[in-house]
Amino acid sequence: MYFRERLEDVQQVCELIDIPYYSVNFAREYWDRVFTLFLNEYKAGRTPNPDVLCNREIKFKAFLDFAMKLGAEKIATGHFVRTNSDGQLLKGVDPNKEQSYFLYMLHRKQLEKAAFPVGGMTKEQVREIALNAGLPVARKKDSTGICFIGERQFKPFLKQFLPAQPGDMVTPEGEVVGRHDGLMFYTLGQRRGLGIGGHGDGRSYFVVDKDLAHNKLIVAQGEDHPLLYSRGAVIEQLTWVDDYHMPVIGLDYGVKTRYRQPDQQARLSALEKDTAVVSFAAPQRAVTPGQSLVIYDGEVCMGGGIIREAIR
């Protein structure tokens, strides 16, 4: 259903504006390059971001290569980002849709073969243009969910591929306060879906850590609990959009540890070939292993890495 609806959208739009369309199957590439890694991260108790890998491995690699073989000069995507004359990746102008966080793994050579026509507009402006052109997708609901998988009920979906291992929910002091369905279903900072309450001072519980060795989910009361906050992070699998514009140790930059987060001031206190230590100017909440930490120099997205561990 997910793919059939989108193929029908493509066909209707292409026929309306009189351009050819093609259908190509990247299921094998997606499984090998994205989904397998997605599952391995969950097995390791981390919370991955498949959209980042999907952009690097499918949209701007497999699909880009296919388009070049067809004789295309560039590919155009609907990402809300921009590029400049120096080939750098810039934030989109719409703060509610800005998507450079998901494209930080791209390199300059890929960006040179891409166009982002909506990056300088808001989503409302894009819809207005589509409406005036009579496109049938002008009022279509924004797509959400996992890249190329769509909206799913997460627990049943993940259970199809990984066995769940229930265990105890415990406080940092070791008190058992409930049972979890499997560590892979929870992420740091999570409040909803824990199914526990009525303990201690009555405040809500939040996930603050995972004990993989003993299959325990560590939970604590209060959204301001100290274990929810980190003063830094170790990141790995570093990638830079432009090898000539990399962060320098000791200088301040803006960073995001999750999508739609306002830039947070931070600096690199150590940098090796594939690992960096990032120190935050102010403690950051729910810094989650497996997610991406993306580094900005003003409007320019420099690159980033995968969070290996939070530093408390």
In sequence order, the 6+-apart residues with CB closer than 8 A to the CB of 124 are none
Of 34, 52, 53, 54, the catalytic one is: 54
CB 289 within 8 A of CB 281: no
CB 182 within 8 A of CB 199: no
Q: What angle do CA 149, 152, 158 make, to 5 degrees?
A: 85
Q: Name the one residue in this structure whose structure tokens are 């690097």.
A: 56
Q: Name the one residue in this structure whose structure tokens are 């003003």.
A: 298
Of 52, 147, 268, 302, the catalytic one is: 147
3-class DSSP state of 309: strand
Told to judge if 14 belongs to the known catalytic residues of this protein, a careful annotator would answer: no
Strand pairing class (167-170; 114-115): unpaired
Per-residue DSSP letter, 163: -
Among positive and negative, which fits the CA dihedral 150, 153, 156, 159? Answer: positive
What amino acid positions are annotated as catalytic residues? 54, 147
